[in-house]
């Protein structure tokens, strides 16, 4: 079977994939022994066709600390893909840094981020899906969820600032999920830090091994370009914001005089020494180690000048993973599996408050999604069909008839979906791993208009389903504790509760340090803890108990008094570390 598949496939398949494919076809044969020969051929053809589509796709996110150059790099990638024609076409998807409480900015942000949530384009026969992540730290939770829907990431570092706070947190999520990461060190046209120091900092702070695949010649005023270690080419820098090609000279042998002629004796000597050092210090680049999330290849460039972007894109296409499967409560689902399945990782409210419909973003994991076909909404055990599923090609939204694993599509929703919901062709499994992280700020929600308590109840429920904030319910009295990563969400919530649901609320600050999810092998001890600490216990959206610890000290006390209980800062215990 494997040999036959390898022979008949017109596309590139590695041996693991051939193995997966054969087992899927064998599984199909075993379950459908009575099928006619023609039915068998048709099904096999569909499986192969799906696999071809999967191999074409790359779904990833660009992540960075605000201002490192995410918008700029995204725009340049779209320019290469021909998805946009002019620079400046991608709106800066970030809230003005000074404005912390400008509702119009919040609204603008919501509008812009629908348009730029997914940017798809074709390049070298590949379908590239870039998922946008909000740069503002108050929307970090949204970014973490988006990371569950991608197969790899490009992390941008500003060469002058090195690793920044947001970079560290984003990288923690990638590490938890074992997401393959490529690092792009940006703004090499400006004065910045020594490249070796930057690499050391990446390894120390981000706790990932790195491997430079290109190397800068000078920096800022002395920046002459990069040597592409992967291709053995010299890419010469010329500041240019619009041209998308660079001067490339092939230099196989670093000892050749041509190198001295092109960049000068001293820089050539430094480059030779530095490259020798790199070969001595860093392991050979190994794609499998990168795919396992254990090593991050590093590139240098200047996004604004279109420099190093093409080589980044081409290396990315060569080494980054095709769409991967996902874990469910009933086992792992491979993308080649013929039955459609996918999960919702983001929900966006309509900008127009008169229409309460929302867009739910679905990442397709396996099989083929088709318009106007009934699918199973697993949590509700309900059949739903979608007449206007949308795809996003740069700034344009268009209705699609079919979509494949790795694709992200928008589904119009009138309130059926929650973040993390699974859609299938009929199966009843649910995808795992859209974790909730402990919020940083907690407030109790107070109703300011007793006549509108129903509206408030519905509003807060729907907003938390959308993932704007987390809701914890405390007893007695059904008290609602709202938890967020940043202050901005509270403003978004009160604004939206009032404008979309007609409910008025106030927030009373609660001095909690963290929300801790709990696991134990000793149920009796857990029950005893819940009774003893009842005023600090609440339930999350899935009815799990959480401990709202007021201080790190009180958490430590709980750990030592109740040693059989494990406390976690994330709801996904498999990926999240114990506190």
189 binds ligand G4P (CB under 6 A): yes
Piece of 64-72, 118-126, 241-249, 529-537 that binds ligand G4P (CB under 6 A): 64-72
Q: What gap in Å lies between CA 74 and CA 57, rounded to an integer? A: 17
Strand spans (E) along 337-434: 341-349, 358-366, 369-370, 375-377, 382-384, 390-393, 396-399, 402-403, 408-413, 422-424
User: Is-contact 86 48, C-beta < 8 A?
Assistant: no
Q: Which is nearer to ligand G4P, 50 or 143 (CB)?
A: 143
Piece of 283-291, 296-304, 429-437, 510-518 that binds ligand G4P (CB under 6 A): 296-304
Piece of 59-67, 122-130, 253-261, 343-351 that binds ligand G4P (CB under 6 A): 59-67
Of the residues 50, 59, 64, 462, which one makes contact with ligand G4P according to CB under 6 A: 64
302 binds ligand G4P (CB under 6 A): yes
Piece of 62-70, 251-259, 415-423, 437-445 that binds ligand G4P (CB under 6 A): 62-70
Give me the least distance between CB of 101 and ligand G4P, in Å please: 20
Give the 3-state secondary structure of residue 72: helix
Piece of 40-48, 183-191, 433-441, 561-569 that binds ligand G4P (CB under 6 A): 183-191
Give me the least distance between CB of 466 and ligand G4P, in Å please: 24
Interior angle at CA 428, CA 427 and CA 431, nearest 5: 100
For the four alpha carbons of 486, 488, 491 and 492, in that order, the dihedral sign comes to negative
- Determine how many CB atoms are found less than 10 A away from the CB of residue 218: 17
- Number of residues located near ligand G4P, criterion CB under 6 A: 19
Residues 129-148 that bind ligand G4P (CB under 6 A): 135
Q: Is 186 exposed, middle or buried (0-12, 13-18, 19+ CB in 10 A)?
A: buried
Largest CA distance in the chain: 83
Give me the least distance between CB of 90 and ligand G4P, in Å please: 9
Of the residues 44, 50, 59, 72, which one makes contact with ligand G4P according to CB under 6 A: 72
Give me the least distance between CB of 146 and ligand G4P, in Å please: 15
Residues 356-375 that bind ligand G4P (CB under 6 A): none
Q: Is 389 exposed, middle or buried (0-12, 13-18, 19+ CB in 10 A)?
A: buried
Residues 481-540 that bind ligand G4P (CB under 6 A): none
Read off the tokens for 37: 């020969």
Of the residues 17, 57, 58, 94, which one makes contact with ligand G4P according to CB under 6 A: 94
Q: Which is nearer to ligand G4P, 135 or 216 (CB)?
A: 135
Read off the tokens for 446: 């107070």
Give me the least distance between CB of 195 and ligand G4P, in Å please: 15
The terminus-to-terminus CA distance of the chain in angstroms comes to 48
Residues 548-567 that bind ligand G4P (CB under 6 A): none
Piece of 100-108, 298-306, 343-351, 422-430 that binds ligand G4P (CB under 6 A): 298-306
67 binds ligand G4P (CB under 6 A): yes
The contacts of residue 420 (CB under 8 Å, 6+ apart) are 343, 344, 345, 430, 431, 434
Give me the least distance between CB of 56 and ligand G4P, in Å please: 28
Read off the tokens for 486: 């940043």
Give me the least distance between CB of 428 and ligand G4P, in Å please: 41
The contacts of residue 534 (CB under 8 Å, 6+ apart) are 475
Give me the least distance between CB of 393 and ligand G4P, in Å please: 21
70 binds ligand G4P (CB under 6 A): yes
Of the residues 186, 228, 438, 455, which one makes contact with ligand G4P according to CB under 6 A: 186
Read off the tokens for 40: 């068998």
Residues 304-363 that bind ligand G4P (CB under 6 A): 304-305
162 binds ligand G4P (CB under 6 A): no
Strand pairing report for 181-186 and 422-424: unpaired
- Determine how many CB atoms are found less than 10 A away from the CB of residue 153: 27
- Determine how many CB atoms are found less than 10 A away from the CB of residue 84: 20
Piece of 70-78, 79-87, 247-255, 524-532 that binds ligand G4P (CB under 6 A): 70-78
Of the residues 21, 68, 322, 419, which one makes contact with ligand G4P according to CB under 6 A: 68
The contacts of residue 467 (CB under 8 Å, 6+ apart) are 141, 142, 145, 346, 347, 419
Residues that bind ligand G4P in the complex, under the rule CB under 6 A: 64, 66-72, 92, 94, 135, 186-187, 189-190, 302-305
């Amino acid at each position: 079977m494997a040999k036959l598949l390898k022979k008949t496939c017109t596309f590139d398949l590695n041996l693991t994939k051939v193995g997966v494919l054969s087992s899927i076809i064998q599984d199909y044969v075993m379950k459908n022994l009575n099928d006619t020969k023609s039915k068998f051929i048709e099904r096999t053809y569909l499986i192969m066709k799906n696999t071809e589509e999967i191999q074409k796709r790359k779904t990833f996110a660009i992540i960075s600390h605000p201002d490192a150059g995410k918008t700029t790099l995204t725009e340049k990638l779209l320019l290469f893909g021909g998805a946009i024609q002019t620079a400046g076409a991608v709106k800066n998807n970030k809230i003005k840094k000074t404005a912390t409480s400008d509702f119009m900015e919040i609204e603008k942000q919501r509008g812009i981020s629908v348009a730029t949530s997914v940017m798809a384009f074709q390049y070298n026969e590949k379908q590239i899906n870039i998922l946008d992540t909000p740069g503002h730290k108050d929307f970090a939770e949204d970014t973490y969820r988006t990371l569950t829907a991608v197969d790899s990431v490009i992390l941008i570092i500003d060469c002058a600032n090195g690793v920044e706070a947001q970079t560290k947190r984003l990288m923690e999520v990638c590490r938890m999920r074992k997401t393959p990461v490529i690092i792009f060190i940006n703004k090499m046209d400006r004065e910045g830090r020594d490249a070796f120091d930057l690499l050391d900092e990446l390894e120390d702070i981000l706790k990932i091994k790195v491997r430079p695949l290109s190397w800068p010649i000078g920096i800022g005023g002395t920046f002459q370009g990069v040597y592409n270690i992967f291709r053995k080419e010299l890419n010469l820098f010329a500041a240019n914001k619009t041209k998308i090609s660079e001067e490339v000279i092939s230099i196989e042998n670093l000892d050749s005089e041509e190198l001295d002629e092109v960049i000068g004796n001293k820089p050539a000597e430094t480059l030779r020494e530095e490259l020798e050092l790199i070969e001595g210090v860093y392991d050979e680049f190994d794609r499998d180690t990168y795919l396992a999330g254990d090593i991050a290849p590093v590139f240098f460039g200047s996004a604004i000048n279109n420099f190093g972007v093409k080589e980044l894109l081409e290396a990315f296409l060569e080494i980054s993973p095709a769409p991967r499967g996902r874990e469910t409560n009933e086992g792992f689902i491979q993308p080649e599996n013929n039955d459609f399945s996918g999960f919702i990782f983001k929900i966006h409210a309509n900008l127009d408050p008169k229409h309460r419909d929302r867009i739910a973003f679905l990442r397709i994991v396996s099989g083929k999604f088709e318009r106007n076909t009934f699918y199973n909404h697993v949590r509700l055990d309900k059949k739903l069909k979608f007449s206007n599923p949308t795809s996003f090609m740069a700034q344009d939204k268009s209705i699609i008839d079919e979509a494949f694993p790795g694709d992200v599509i928008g589904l119009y929703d009138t309130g059926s979906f929650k973040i993390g919901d699974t859609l299938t062709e009929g199966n009843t499994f649910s995808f795992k791993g859209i974790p909730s992280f402990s919020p940083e700020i907690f407030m109790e929600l107070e109703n300011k208009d007793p006549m509108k308590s129903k509206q408030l109840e519905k509003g807060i429920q729907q907003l938390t389903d959308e993932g704007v904030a987390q809701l914890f319910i405390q007893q007695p009295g059904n008290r609602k504790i709202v938890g967020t990563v940043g202050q901005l969400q509270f403003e978004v919530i009160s604004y939206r509760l009032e404008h979309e649901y007609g409910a008025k609320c106030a927030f009373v600050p609660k001095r909690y340090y963290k929300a801790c999810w709990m696991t134990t092998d000793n149920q009796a001890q857990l029950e005893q803890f819940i009774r003893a600490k009842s005023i600090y216990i609440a339930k999350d959206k899935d009815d799990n108990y959480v401990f709202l610890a007021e201080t790190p000290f009180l958490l430590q006390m709980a750990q030592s008094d109740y040693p059989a209980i494990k406390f976690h800062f994330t709801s996904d215990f498999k990926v999240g570390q114990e506190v």
